[in-house]
Amino acid sequence: MNKKVLITSYVHPKLISGLTDLGFSVDYQEAFDIRNLESVLPLLSGIIINSNIKMTAERIATATRLEFIGRLGSGLEIIDVEYAKLKGVAVINSPEGNRDAVAEHVVGMLLSLSNNLLRADHEVRNKIWNREANRGIELGGKTLGIIGLGHTGQALARKMSSWTLDIIYYDPYLLCTPTDLPNITQVNINQLTALSDFISFHVPLTPETQGMVDEKFLKSCKESAIIINTSRGQVIQTNALVSALETRRLGGACLDVFENEKPQAFSPEQDQLFARLYAMDNVVLTPHIAGWTHASLEKIAEVLISKISTII
């Protein structure tokens, strides 16, 4: 009997054909109904998931034939990694596949905010010609602080290394600066917030990072600083960020991820909080699409196939 792999989200055809070439029987359901998960888990040798499915210890225990869990992207907080390891189930993610896309998204959001592109575009469409009010900020001579120098943090540093700005980073788990990034400097978190004009987050969601951007953190930043988050929404305490933006303790924010990414499920309090955020013109907001490119879709498939081929 062929080993069966369930794919639960939209993927590039290369992932399907690659798994087939490796000898797997592929059940591809790009809009998988999670209500059917428990019934199919005991039949699976592998499962490919996005953030729509959490592989808890209970689900892993049910999947008695499971050999691997493939993650489309990087975040592993949706998988009980320790329990999977205990059960001999390989956990495979693919940050190499979308790191460049995320880094480019950061640059795009930052340039858009610094040059007032969204506001200026809206005004021009409404026949408002307001040049002076839309005078921009150049990145040259400024300092970019990167929190988390993993795959995406390094990709951002590489893309920005040719710009005339200083790049510093904070990552307590990185013992030394990568040799191909000689022009960036490791600092502690207090130095980073004090020096950075732009702070970009590239961290996993862990007990250590959850809510790390609170009122105290924001007060330690420059008043003109721009916060950029393409990692996980729960890293930032939204209420603290909104308050800092409203009082102009911060220069702005670029957010691709949010504490609650289901607007239809907002509580009344969240609805009011996010309404305050949406009303600001010193923010750029996108719907968790950093890393969501046509190229990254293909690259993620290639990365997963390459890694899966080494464990079967």
295 sits in which H/E element: helix 294-309
Residue 54 contacts residue 34 (beta carbons within 8 Å): no
Quote the pLDDT of residue 2: 81
- Do domains 3-93 and 99-285 share one topology? The answer is yes
Convert 257-291 to b/e letters by CB count within 10 Å (16 or more is b): bbbeeeeeeeeeebeebbeebeeeeebbebeeebb
Q: pLDDT tens-digit profile of 17-36? A: 999 999 999 999 998 999 99
| Active-site residue flag, 151 | no
What 3-state DSSP class applies to 90? strand
- Over residues 82-93, the mean pLDDT reads 98
DSSP string, 163-200: SSSEEEEE-TT--S--TT-TTEEE--HHHHHHH-SEEE
- Over residues 285-296, the mean pLDDT reads 97
- Over residues 207-218, the mean pLDDT reads 97
- Cα distance from N-terminal residue to C-terminal residue, the chain: 16
CA dihedral 303, 308, 310, 312 (to 10 degrees): -170
| Active-site residue flag, 131 | no
Report, in angstroms and rounded to the nearest whole number, the Rg of the chain calculated over CA atoms: 21
Q: CATH fold of 99-285, please?
A: Rossmann fold (3.40.50)
- Cα gap 92→89, rounded to integer Å: 10
Q: pLDDT tens-digit profile of 139-173? A: 999 999 999 999 999 999 999 999 999 999 999 99
Quote the pLDDT of residue 252: 98
- 199: tokens are 């702070």
Using the predicted structure, report yes or no on whether residue 53 has a pLDDT greater than 80: yes
What pTM was estimated for this model as a whole? 0.95
**How many beta carbons lie within 10 A of that of residue 25, not counting itself?**
13
Using the predicted structure, report yes or no on whether residue 295 has a pLDDT greater than 70: yes
Q: pLDDT tens-digit profile of 169-195? A: 999 999 899 999 989 999 999 999 999
Q: pLDDT tens-digit profile of 33-51? A: 999 999 999 999 999 999 8
Residue 192 contacts residue 145 (beta carbons within 8 Å): yes
| Active-site residue flag, 288 | yes
**How many beta carbons lie within 10 A of that of residue 312, not counting itself?**
13
Q: Give the start-to-end residue ranges of the domains of the chain.
A: 3-93, 99-285
Using the predicted structure, report yes or no on whether residue 65 has a pLDDT greater than 70: yes
Q: Which CATH number fits domain 3-93: 3.40.50.720, 3.40.980.10, 3.60.15.10, 3.30.70.600?
A: 3.40.50.720
**Annotated active-site residue in 246, 288, 298, 302:** 288
Quote the pLDDT of residue 52: 87
Quote the pLDDT of residue 251: 96
Q: pLDDT tens-digit profile of 105-124? A: 999 999 999 999 999 999 99
β-bridge pairing 143-147 and 198-201: parallel
The percent of residues in the chain predicted with pLDDT above 70, rounded, is: 100
**Annotated active-site residue in 261, 276, 294, 302:** 261
Quote the pLDDT of residue 263: 96
**Annotated active-site residue in 151, 232, 249, 259:** 232
Residue 204 contacts residue 232 (beta carbons within 8 Å): yes
Which residue has tokens 């917030």?
Answer: 193
What 3-state DSSP class applies to 304? helix
Quote the pLDDT of residue 50: 94
For the chain, count helices (H), then strands (E).
12, 12
Q: pLDDT tens-digit profile of 219-249? A: 999 999 999 999 999 999 999 999 999 999 9
- Dihedral of CA 217/219/220/225: which sign? positive
